[in-house]
Amino acid sequence: MSSAIPQEITRRRVFYIPGYDPIHPRRYRELYRKESAAQAAISGYEVALIGRQGGDSYGWQVRAVIDGAETEAEFDVLVWSDIVRASMDLNIAQTYALMARTAWTYIASGALWRLMRLRKGPVIAALYPVGMLILQALAALALAWVVAAGAAMGIGRLLPGPGWPGWVAGGVLGALAGVALLRWFRKIDNRLYVYYLMHDYAYSAATRGANPPELEARMASFADQIAEALETDVDEVLVVGHSSGAHLGVSILADLIRAGRVPQTGPKLGFLTLGQVVPMVSFLPDAARLRRDLHDLSRAEEIAWVDVTAPGDGCAFALCDPVSVSGVAPEGKRWPLVISAAFTQTLSPARWRALRWRFFRLHFQYLCAFDRPKDYDYFQITAGPLSLASRYAGRPPSKSRIDAGISKYTSMAP
């Protein structure tokens, strides 16, 4: 961006909606601190993060000097990690039952086959926990059999006579060994992500795409916070939805616009979706509320909506227009502008090699520094002197985007 461009934004409010994440939101503050410093060093600007005291929400403040323009931004993380943790509070047996229900929901509804027509990566990511849980169960059964047989043979040698006591004792020891192995697999899940991903995909599948009541209540609270910010004298209110947070943001903003809570003379309103997985929900039978929200938001004049994904992110539906592929694109559709973060071009060959097989890390690359940045820079978007609308004005969408209607289910809630 040239310094000849006049400064449009001096003060900004940023609301970040995380994906399905049970971890405390301080991780996002520290990620912003570290990665903004790295991007500033690469791109030649200044970003300083300041801790925020008090308040009802978790956040931080940023002061930046970009192309000679001084800006301030106040960040709020819209926290729903407590809901995520509650949904993950299941034992091993309950998780296996959840796996069966989730797989049946996607298969029986036909959603799985439709999703495979979009991108194979996120579908493989969805099948990964299913396959791994089955393999873990088979490993536990194999261990149980080996221990049971070995124990029965050993006891049989020590205690001549009927063999059944040995097999009973062996069976008990085998079962204990199998359960111990399953517990060990769960203990190391911070390296495998099997249980985490299983609960992630199961959360929406449990209600066939409808929002659970506790999530609807939290989204209403988020909407109130954003509406309050839209009544202040900041220059832009920017909502950022990452991963599953993208479809939450769609519904929250659609509600605000339909309710007339976006002032015509207020701050500019921007919506940035990153690494979205909207089709995993919108393709489900009972996701009528989300499909209506996609339909309404895509033609809204009150907002600028930019959707950023990258084919290198195997956990996102890269370059899939979430409105169009869900089969609810209206006449006069304006949004989103679908563009690529193009990891293979915006990361140096050495950096790409280091990250290429770290799938979960790549899913967060949108929030990180690029050592060969192009027109996507998370820190200039959130702390720079241009609004989201102005930054991407005239930018054509990605030529390789997928915008055909694929979803089997296109009904919309009234």
Pair (236, 372) in one structural domain: yes
Whether 241 shows a pLDDT value over 70: the answer reads yes
Return the DSSP state at 304: E
Cβ burial, residue 152 (10 Å; 0-12/13-18/19+): buried
Q: Taking the chain, what is the end-to-end CA distance rounded to the nearest angstrom?
A: 43
pLDDT at 155: 60
Tell me what the mean pLDDT of segment 301-321 comes to: 96
pLDDT at 2: 42
**Would 405 be classed as within a structural domain?**
no
In the chain, the amino acid numbered 97 is: A
Tell me what the mean pLDDT of segment 348-370 comes to: 95
For the whole prediction, is pTM greater than 0.75?
yes
Pair (146, 279) in one structural domain: no
Which residues, in sequence order, are bridge partners of residue 72?
11, 63
**Would 378 be classed as within a structural domain?**
yes
Pair (286, 369) in one structural domain: yes
Pair (76, 102) in one structural domain: no
Pair (52, 139) in one structural domain: no
**Would 406 be classed as within a structural domain?**
no
Pair (224, 351) in one structural domain: yes
Domain-ending residue, one of 203, 227, 243:
203
**Would 4 be classed as within a structural domain?**
no
**Would 27 be classed as within a structural domain?**
yes
Domain-ending residue, one of 151, 168, 203:
203
Task: State what percent of residues in the chain have pLDDT above 90.
Answer: 82
Pair (217, 350) in one structural domain: yes
Pair (216, 189) in one structural domain: no
Domain-ending residue, one of 183, 203, 223:
203
Pair (370, 280) in one structural domain: yes
Whether 36 shows a pLDDT value over 80: the answer reads yes
Pair (252, 386) in one structural domain: yes
Residue range(s) defining the domain that contains residue 196: 89-203
Pair (225, 93) in one structural domain: no
Helix (H), strand (E) at residue 51: strand 46-51
CATH code of the domain covering residue 327: 3.40.50
Pair (292, 358) in one structural domain: yes
Lowest mean per-residue pLDDT among 26-30, 211-215, 319-323, 368-372? 26-30
The pLDDT tens digits for 110-136 are 999 999 999 888 888 889 999 999 999
Residue matched to tokens 């992500």 = 193
